[in-house]
């Protein structure tokens, strides 16, 4: 796979991009799809998708992307959307790929969850604790989310907004700076600004604390082969 950056006004933005997230087409295993009605080619899904960006102008841009080179490729009717609802800088954008939803978070901690209907995006959920968010992650199956706040509050909930558990995590002289789920969603793994890994079970109880670095942990990603597609064959 190759990426080509075009140095023209078309490929540029007039503000600083704070966060990027890419979503493929609807996966064949999506819980939203009825297997009897789904005839989508799995490899084709990963040739195309949507790129979300959040910037300092409070705007989320959602842009259709494709690596197909043939002229028969069918583009959607509209390939770019600008979502305007936040009032402060965007800090994080994150796709829930199985459910095709987009979470966006601004510097004040306001969280919006967007969903696409036909040719428009609309707000489905709003969460505002009036506290900045330091980390957030969807589970691999898209059913769960975990949100970490600057004041140590940790919230785990469902894709529909139902709260499963919450707790307050007190880490001396440190804050949670990254988070991810284990593949079976039995535990969440949190990273801190002091270089610790904290493992929490599905009730919000801390089961392990592991010092692994003297530097701040900026990002955590759990790799599991079952969640990654085979590379598409570009020669076809």
193: left (phi over 0), alpha (psi -120 to 50) or beta: alpha
Span 174-181, average pLDDT:
96
Q: Are residues 84 and 21 in the same domain?
A: yes
Tell me which residue has tokens 């969850």. 113
Residue 50 has pLDDT above 70, yes or no: yes
Q: Are residues 121 and 188 in the same domain?
A: no
Whether the Cβ atoms of residue 138 and residue 96 lie closer than 8 Å to each other: yes
Query: How many structural domains compose the chain?
Result: 2
Whether the Cβ atoms of residue 83 and residue 121 lie closer than 8 Å to each other: yes
Q: Are residues 108 and 11 in the same domain?
A: yes
Q: Are residues 104 and 182 in the same domain?
A: no
Residue 45 parent element (H or E): helix 42-45
Q: Give the pTM.
A: 0.81
Residue span of the structural domain in which 16 resides = 1-128
CA 34, CA 39: separation in Å to the nearest integer? Answer: 10
Q: Are residues 108 and 146 in the same domain?
A: no
Interval 187-196: pLDDT, tens: 999 999 999 9
Domain of 195, CATH number, reads: 2.40.128.630
Interval 88-141: pLDDT, tens: 999 999 999 999 999 999 999 999 999 988 888 999 999 999 999 999 999 999
The answer to whether residue 134 sits within a structural domain is no
118: left (phi over 0), alpha (psi -120 to 50) or beta: left
Interval 58-103: pLDDT, tens: 999 999 888 776 666 677 788 899 999 999 999 999 999 999 999 9
Please identify, among 85, 104, 128, the residue that sits at the C-terminal boundary of a domain. Answer: 128
Q: Are residues 103 and 210 in the same domain?
A: no
Q: Are residues 159 and 117 in the same domain?
A: no
The answer to whether residue 133 sits within a structural domain is no
Q: What pLDDT was estimated at residue 118?
A: 81
Q: How many residues does the chain have?
A: 236
């Amino acid at each position: 796979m190759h990426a080509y950056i075009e140095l023209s006004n078309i490929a540029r933005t007039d503000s600083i991009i704070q966060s990027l997230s890419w979503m493929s087409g609807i996966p064949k295993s999506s819980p939203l799809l009825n297997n009897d009605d789904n005839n989508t080619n799995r490899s084709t899904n990963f040739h195309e998708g949507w790129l979300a960006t959040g910037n300092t102008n409070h705007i989320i841009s959602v842009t259709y992307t494709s690596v197909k080179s043939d002229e028969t490729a069918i583009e959607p009717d509209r390939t770019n959307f600008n979502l305007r609802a936040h009032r402060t800088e965007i800090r994080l954008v994150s796709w829930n790929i199985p459910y095709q939803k987009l979470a966006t978070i601004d510097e004040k901690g306001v969280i919006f969850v967007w969903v696409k209907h036909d040719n428009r995006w609309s707000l489905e959920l709003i969460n505002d604790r009036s506290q900045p968010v330091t980390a957030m992650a969807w589970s691999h199956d898209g059913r769960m989310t975990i949100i970490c706040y600057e004041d140590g509050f940790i919230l785990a909930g469902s894709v529909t907004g139902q709260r499963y558990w919450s707790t307050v995590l007190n880490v001396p002289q440190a804050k949670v700076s990254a988070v991810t789920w284990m593949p079976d969603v039995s535990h969440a793994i949190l990273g801190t600004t002091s270089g610790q890994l904290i493992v929490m079970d599905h009730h919000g109880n801390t089961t392990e604390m592991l010092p692994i670095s003297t530097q701040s942990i900026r990002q955590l990603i759990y790799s599991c082969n079952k969640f990654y597609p085979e590379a598409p064959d570009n020669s076809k």
